[in-house]
Amino acid sequence: MRTLFDRLWDAHVIRTRDDGAALLWVDRHYLHEGSHHAFARLAARGMGVAHPALTVGVADHYVPTRGPTTDPDIARMVATLEGNAAAHGFALFGRGDPRQGIVHVVGPEQGLTLPGMLVVCGDSHTSTHGALGAWGFGIGATEVAHVLATQTVWQRKPRRMRLTFHGTPAPGVGAKDMALHWIAALGADGARGHAVEYAGPAVRGLPVSGRLTLCNLSIEGGARCGMVAPDAALIDWLRGRPFAPQGAVFDRAAEGWAALASDPGAEFDAEHSFDMAGIAPVVTWGTSPEDAAPITASVPDPARATPERASRMAEALDYMGLRPGQRLTDVAVDQVFIGSCTNARIEDLRAAAAVLAGRRAVVPGMVSPGSTPVRRQAEAEGLDRIFVDAGLEWVGSGCSMCVGMNGDRVAPGMRCASSTNRNFRGRQGPGARTHLMSPAMVAAAAVTGHLSDVRPFLEGRG
Ligand SMILES: CC(C)[C@H](C(=O)O)[C@@H](O)C(=O)O
Ligand code: SF4
């Protein structure tokens, strides 16, 4: 009896070393601007790209979201990726390409990631692709060079963990809340060394966009990867995607994908289950995604935590400028950001727009769609107007203020309600204070100017 992860592992092992590490075949290799180190290694050894057809470059981390950049260092990062694509002959969705966007949004959207694939990228959030029943994981620069040169990667087999979500989510509660909830419960290293499979009725009930959000955050709970077994909803979602097989070939492939599941009696090395009845909209208060609590709670008190946790908590609260016992809904924000590979798909933008429609934001903010196709779709639906009429800035697609590499930053000391996945110190800019939450919760914070429960807005009482 095998788990979904065992099936993916077995299907990709080329050979196993005596020490247990296995050489694995890579079906899809994504590259972003950060790949320049790996290309330098390749060049130093006079090597080329073994399988350009399985390699796809996407400009995202450094792309400007508001017209051409004036910063030569930023421009050079994007140009280097373009140069490597041209030199090695792999596809590139670069500046101006109608398919450009954040790599973890673009791959699934284009049908470049498919169920059963082993997908790698020199980026930790490659776990996102697991939502499609693929095995996606982030690799380091040395491994990127190895994959470029050989289309293979060495890995040790992770242990297997299943996270089961029972029940149905309340309105206003979604994948982001499920993710932050389990990470708060198990800790930022709670799933360390494990391949996570998400299961249960609440996961099955998530649209594919929500599954992508859930798998995206796997890494923030320490997991090596996260995945959801394919089902009919996924197969419908994939049908007709540009790089997916088409027609009868798609139907045949889909029959195979339907078999990608854990056997009913398959054993996991660890199991945890959660009841949706206990999950409210979640926000983070600290400097790790595990520092998360329901919006109805107060800022925790280090005095009540274990000594080792207490000092880290106190430091986090100091950095965040928060007092123990302060109600989370009393925390004023300076700005908002909706974007990133976590929460900038069309469904995320619709959820935020539903809250913002007919309302004004009382703080400034930016909305950056996850890809250029998402941007076009949002504009066709008039969502851009809703954001602009609310007073937010509608910009181009890229990693943008999630990481600030393109210059979109939160100023020092400023507090940002953000739909992204990392609230580390300085993540959105030196001294920036980040509160993670769902896009609808970001929209609610924009309207009130403080961390806010989105649920009254959905009931028309906001
Ligand atoms: C810059 C990149 C390598 C990094 C990652 O590995 O995830 C970034 O995408 C992030 O989200 O922190
Ligand atoms: S959007 Fe943020 S989390 Fe996603 S790949 Fe870019 S920097 Fe990393």
Ligand 2 binding pocket includes 123 (Cβ within 6 Å): yes
What's the pLDDT score for residue 105?
Answer: 99
Tally the residues of the chain. 462
Contact (Cβ atoms closer than 8 angstroms) between residue 289 and residue 436? yes
Convert 230-248 to b/e letters by CB count within 10 Å (16 or more is b). bbeebbebbeebebbbeee
Average pLDDT over residues 285-300: 98
| R_g of the chain computed on alpha carbons | 21
Nearest CA to ligand 1 atom 4: 123
Alpha helices in 111-231 (DSSP H): 141-150, 175-186, 201-204, 208-216
| Residue 422 CA to ligand 2 centre (angstroms) | 9
For ligand 1, the distance from its centroid to the CA atom of residue 98, given in whole angstroms, is: 23
Q: Whose CA is nearest to atom 6 of ligand 2?
A: 399
Does residue 38's CB lie within 6 angstroms of at least one atom of ligand 2?
A: no
User: Are 408 and 62 in contact, with CB atoms under 8 Å apart?
Assistant: no
With tokens 């989510």, the residue in question is 169
pLDDT digits (tens, 9 = 90+) for 410-425: 999 999 999 999 999 9
Q: How far is the CA of 168 from the centre of ligand 2 (A)?
A: 29
Residue 129 in contact with ligand 2 by CB distance below 6 A: no
Please give the Cα distance from 213 to 343 (Å, whole number): 6
Angle at 10 between CA 234 and CA 153, to 5 degrees: 95
Confidence label for 308 from pLDDT (cuts 50, 70 and 90)? confident
Mean pLDDT of 166-184: 97
pLDDT of amino acid 385: 98
Tell me which ligand sits closest to the C-alpha of residue 217.
2
Q: Collect all residues with Cβ–Cβ distance below 8 Å to 285 and sequence separation of at least 6.
A: 291, 292, 293, 299, 300, 316, 317, 320, 322, 328, 331, 435
| Least confident span in 70-74, 269-273, 447-451 | 70-74
Instruction: Write down the pTM of the prediction.
Output: 0.98
pLDDT band at 41 (very low <50, low <70, confident <90, very high): very high
Token pair 């009130």 is found at 448
| Cα–Cα dist 151/206, whole Å | 33
Ligand 1 centroid to residue 125 C-alpha, Å: 7
Rounded to the nearest angstrom, the distance between the alpha carbon of 265 and the centre of ligand 2 is 36
Find the ligand nearest to 122 CA: 1
Are 419 and 348 within 8 A, CB to CB? yes
Nearest CA to ligand 1 atom 3: 123
Do residues 291 and 284 lie in contact, with contact meaning Cβ atoms separated by under 8 Å? yes
CA distance to 31, 76, 104, 112, 396, per residue, from 36 (Å): 9, 11, 19, 22, 23
**Predicted ipTM?**
0.98
Whether pLDDT at 339 is above 70: yes
Q: Which residues contact 52 (CB under 8 A, 6 or more apart)?
A: 88, 89, 90
Q: What is the mean pLDDT of the chain?
A: 97
Is any ligand 2 atom within 6 A of the Cβ of residue 421? Answer: yes
For residue 262, report the distance from its CA to the centre of ligand 1, in Å: 30
Would the pLDDT of 461 be above 90? Answer: no
Residue whose CB lies within 8 A of the most ligand 1 atoms, among 62, 123, 142, 225, for a mutation test? 123
pLDDT for the residue numbered 70: 85
The pLDDT of residue 68 is 85
Rounded to whole angstroms, the Cα distance separating 228 from 217 reads: 13
Instruction: State the pairing for strand pair 13-16/22-25.
Output: antiparallel
Cα 208–Cα 53–Cα 22 angle in degrees, nearest 5? 75
pLDDT digits (tens, 9 = 90+) for 232-251: 999 999 999 999 999 999 99
